[in-house]
Every structure is written in structure tokens, then in C-alpha cells.
Amino acid sequence: MTYSIDILQQLRRDWDRERTSLASRQARDRLHERHPHLDLEFQCDMGDVLTLLETRGGRCVLDKARLLEAMLEEAELPFLRRALLQTLLPGIVSTCRQLRFGDGIIDDPSEVLAMAISLCAELIVDWAGQRRPFAGPDLLSALRGRLRRWLLKEKEALRATAPFDGLDAAGEDALPLLTRLEQLRGGEHDRLVRLTYARVFEGISLRELAAADHSSMMSLRQELQVFALQQLL
């Protein structure tokens, strides 16, 4: 999936840099000291530990579950949170796929993936220190619920601001909107006035607007929605 490559590759490159770091070795030592039953004697760092969770890692399903449980229990340590997020990336992508990457709601599927990664990171922080025998499936299940609620909110917001997010408003009924935008020009909302005009009347895509505005599609969409609700409706 080409739309997810940039985000995932960035995380994987970051992990490749950090997997053998001092923080990684200290995180492995903490797991080994507090959970000797995990048998991590021959793993030097968290990079080696995560290798055990791979298909050919040599550990059975039960051992992998115990390892994920321990990682979540010790996730108050920042590097263990990072390691847990890294090993959950395939599951995060699968969760996004189950929700069709917000098809019909979000224009750019990579935006959904970025939000899913952010929500999963928040979940790991929220659950750090908990003992969950099914930590991996539990986290992904909770992620699916949070991501679905986010998509429903985005869908509702899309409906509320529909006249200002497409080209339909650029017909005869657009006169009140055009008048209102003209009234707001040159004021504190001038930037959003110009962006709204470009989106509605010139048909410029949100992606192009975000690039020109040097902002993310997600933040720009939210800004335009709030602007429409507060100033235009």
C-alpha cells in the first residue's frame, strides 16, 4: 500500500537507529530483571527482544503473549512504549484496513494511519503498568474502538460543513457565502477566508491547499470546519 509507506518507513528507520541504543539495552535489562521467566538472557537489546515476536522468532504463541504482557506492564519506561508501538505496527495497519482507511470520510488514507498510530501510542501510555494477559489483542481492539469513534466524528463534521467543503456551494446559492467571506476579508480570519474561497469557489483540493499553507491536511481540515461552524453557518 503505497499511501502508508512513508509513515511506516519513517518509524522503521527510527527503530533501526534506536534498537541497539543505550536506552534499548536498559529497557531489555529491566525486562530481564523483573521478568526472568521470559528467558531473555541471550537478547542484548530490545531489537533482539522484538525479533522473538516475529513469525520465525522461535517463541510459541503463549511465550509471545507473556512478553507483550510484560512490555505493557513495564511501559512506564519510554523506550518500552516505543518498542511496544513498533511491534504493533502490522496490527495497526490491519485495524485501519478493517475500517477501510476511512473511505468516504477521509481523503488521504495515510491520515487515518497517522491517527491510528497516534491513538495507539496514547493507549499504551494510558495502559502502562497494567497486567493484561492478552495485551496485544486488547490494545488493538481498543484502538479499533477509538479510531472508529474518531471517524464517526469526522463524518459528522463533514456533514455539518458539507456546503463549505465542496463545489456545490459555488452556484446561485453561494451568494450569501460569498458576501460573508467578503465581509471577513482583511480581518483576523483572512487566511481562512482565502483558503475557504479557494476550496469552495476554485475547486482546489484540500491536499493542494495544505501544501501551499505549509500545514497538514488533518489540521487544515479541522481549522476550516471550525471556521465554517463559527463564522459561516
Of 228 and 21, the structure prediction assigns the larger pLDDT to 21
Tell which of 98, 126, 158 closes a domain.
Answer: 158
Cell 461552524 sits on residue: 229
Q: Are residues 225 and 129 in the same domain?
A: no
pLDDT tens per residue, range 109-157: 888 999 999 999 999 999 999 999 999 999 999 999 999 999 988 887 7
Provide the grid cell at 90. 502490522
Q: Are residues 10 and 123 in the same domain?
A: yes
Whole-structure pTM value: 0.69
**Tens digits of per-residue pLDDT, 179-217?**
788 888 888 888 888 888 888 777 788 888 888 888 888
Q: 54, 91, 95, 88: which is closest to 72 by C-alpha?
A: 88
* Distance (Å, whole) CA 38 – CA 36: 5
* Rounded-to-integer distance, Cα 158 and Cα 216, Å: 17
Final residue before a domain boundary, out of 111, 143, 158? 158
Q: Which of 140, 158, 176 finishes a domain?
A: 158
Backbone angles phi, psi at 96, to 5 degrees: -60, -40
Number of domains in the chain: 2
- Domain housing 209: 162-232
